[in-house]
Structure 1
Amino acid sequence: MNIVLEVCVDNIESLHLAIAGGATRIELCSSLALGGLTPSYGFMKQAAQQSSVPVYAMIRPRQGDFLYSEQDIAIMLDDVHSAKRAGLQGIVIGLLTAQGDVDIAHCQQLIAAASGMGVTFHRAIDQCRDHQQALQDIMTLKCERVLTSGLASNAYEGMPILTQMVQQAQGKIAIMAGAGVNINNVKEIVQTTGVTEVHLSGKTTRPSLMSLHANTAKMGHDSIDDFAIPVTDKHIIQAVKQALN
């Protein structure tokens, strides 16, 4: 079985590095350090033009929980239309009610707006009240897959629930393991759980190419080095790909 290798990226340099490493699908985001937010329209458009593999855009207007206001939903609908106009193959969504159930009504709105595109339900399922009911709701919505760590802090610790999800899905929806997937555990996660897709960032940093490093002014938090550029490590992706093969 060929295991799908999805790589999440938040800049165009990483897009090319992920594909060179063997990614079979890209999740396009901004702000991976915050768990991934909606990418800009310009990023979506350029990714659609330059990628040789399918690209799905994260539709998440802010960091934090997955309970969204009507204003948030309006933004998300506009972003879905942008992803469609940019020529991307799919979107990535995850919405919950205040009680921790899948927000079926608002998901249906976004899915309708994305008509003709693929839909992934993301790790919002890992914060739900009842994962079995949530998975059933996601299947009812006809999403293609669900990204999950098996309700744990990482997919390795979540293997028992991932296995249960694969059994419940019965091939009607793909279960994609994500969070903490790496060269050391990916083979065991796949073989133990039966997941058909895995998700990772493979992040590293590269030094800035600027010759001038002005260290007094910071663009963000003091702990962030403005001259260390986060990028996908092509060699990490290659190593995971080889482990899967």
Structure 2
Amino acid sequence: MTIELEVCIDNLESLHLAIEAGATRIELCSSLALGGLTPSYGFMKQAAKHSTVPVYAMIRPRQGDFLFSEQEMQIMLEDVRCAKQAGLQGIVIGVLQSNGEIDKTNCQTLIHAAQGMGVTFHRAIDQCCNAKQALEDIIDLGCERVLTSGLAANAYDGMDTISEMVKQVQGRISIMAGAGVNLDNAKTILNKTGVREIHLSGKSTRPSLMQSQTSRAKMGHDDVDDFAIPVTSKDIIQAVKAAIQ
């Protein structure tokens, strides 16, 4: 059985690197350092133009929890329409109620707007109060898959829970393991959980091509090097691909 290798990216350079390395699907984001936010419309259009594999856009208007206001829901609806208009194959969503349950009403609203597109439910499930019920709710919504770390800090630590999820759903939805997946643990996670999809970023950096790098001005946090450009590592993705085949 084919293993799906989804790579999350937040720039166009990484799109090409991930696909060349063997990614079978792309999760398109901005701000991976914040867990992934909604990409720009321009990024969506260019990804749709250049990608040779399915591209799913993250629909998340801000960092933090997954309890969204009505105004934030309106932003997300517009972003879903943009993803559809850009020609992407799917969206990645997750909305919770304040009690930690799936907000089925608002999720359904987003899914309806994305009619004809695939839908992944993201790691909002890892903040749910009852993961078993959350899985049933996500299945009822008609999502294709759910991305999870098994309610743990990373997928390796959450393997037991991920395995239980795979057994619970009995093929009604795909469980995709993500968070901290790397060359050292990818094969173990696949073998011990029974998932057939894994999700990773393969983070690395490359040096800036700026010839002048003398400025002391900082564009972000003091510990961020503005002349180290975050990109997907082609070597990392290729190595993981080889390890899981």
* Alignment-mate amino acid for residue 230 of structure 1: P
Equivalent residue number for residue 9 of structure 1: 9
Equivalent residue number for residue 40 of structure 1: 40
The percentage of aligned residue pairs carrying the same residue is 71
CA distances 1:87-138 after superposition (whole Å, capped 9, x unpaired)? 0000000110000000000000000000000000000000000000000000
Equivalent residue number for residue 224 of structure 1: 224
Equivalent residue number for residue 95 of structure 1: 95
TM-score scaled to structure 2, two decimals? 0.99
Distance 1:49 1:206 in 2: 24
Give structure 1 stretches of 5+ with no counterpart: none
Task: Report how many residues are paired.
Answer: 245
Equivalent residue number for residue 193 of structure 1: 193
Where 1:176 maps in the other structure, the secondary structure is strand
Equivalent residue number for residue 126 of structure 2: 126
Structure 1 position 214, deviation (Å)? 3.1
* Alignment-mate amino acid for residue 142 of structure 1: G
Distance 2:184 2:51 in 1: 28
Where 1:120 maps in the other structure, the secondary structure is strand
Equivalent residue number for residue 174 of structure 2: 174
Where 1:61 maps in the other structure, the secondary structure is coil
Structure 1 position 216, deviation (Å)? 1.1
Distance 1:154 1:91 in 2: 22
Distance 2:191 2:52 in 1: 28
Equivalent residue number for residue 141 of structure 1: 141
Where 1:84 maps in the other structure, the secondary structure is helix
Structure 1 position 182, deviation (Å)? 0.6
Equivalent residue number for residue 207 of structure 1: 207
* Alignment-mate amino acid for residue 156 of structure 1: Y
TM-score scaled to structure 1, two decimals? 0.99
The CA RMSD over aligned residues, in Å, is 0.5
* Alignment-mate amino acid for residue 162 of structure 2: L
Give structure 2 stretches of 5+ with no counterpart: none
Distance 1:147 1:181 in 2: 12
Structure 1's consecutive aligned runs of 4 or more residues displaced over 2 angstroms after TM superposition are none
Equivalent residue number for residue 57 of structure 2: 57
Where 1:204 maps in the other structure, the secondary structure is strand
* Alignment-mate amino acid for residue 71 of structure 2: Q
Where 2:71 maps in the other structure, the secondary structure is helix
Where 2:205 maps in the other structure, the secondary structure is strand
